[in-house]
Amino acid sequence: MKVGAHGRHGPVTYAVEVYVPSTRVTFRFHQPAGFVGTHTFEVFPHPTGSRLEHRVEITPRGLARLGWPLIFGPLHDALAEDAATLAVLATGGTPTAKVWSRWVRLLRALG
């Protein structure tokens, strides 16, 4: 991973904007049109180890004002929950069970 590297998840494309190894990575959205913002993962010291923070700071424009809250946002949140569960498991913890909403299950079935 390095600043300037490009990635893709389905129709969403982005580039690494900030990379601090073992601390922080921020991605800037490029597509779909109307996704204006960033997606960040950051690790903070915590009394019992570390805390992983995940942030999406997006200002949807145009059709993305509908697409983000109805489709991409719910799918993203479910994926982030799954990633957090895997992170907890990878570090020897016991994750809290999360169940996808009916809406997310429907969207995944359609995709």
Contact 78, 104 (CB under 8 A): yes
This prediction's pTM: 0.80
Give the helix ranges, DSSP H, for the chain: 64-67, 73-90, 102-110
What pLDDT digit, counting tens, does each position of 36-45 carry? 999 999 999 8
Return d(Cα 39, Cα 72) in angstroms, integer.
13
CA distances from 79 to 49, 76, 82, 86 (A): 24, 5, 5, 11
Cβ neighbours around 49 below 10 Å, total: 10
pLDDT of the residue at 24: 96
47-92 pLDDT, tens digit per residue, is 988 888 999 999 999 999 999 999 999 999 998 899 889 888 888 8
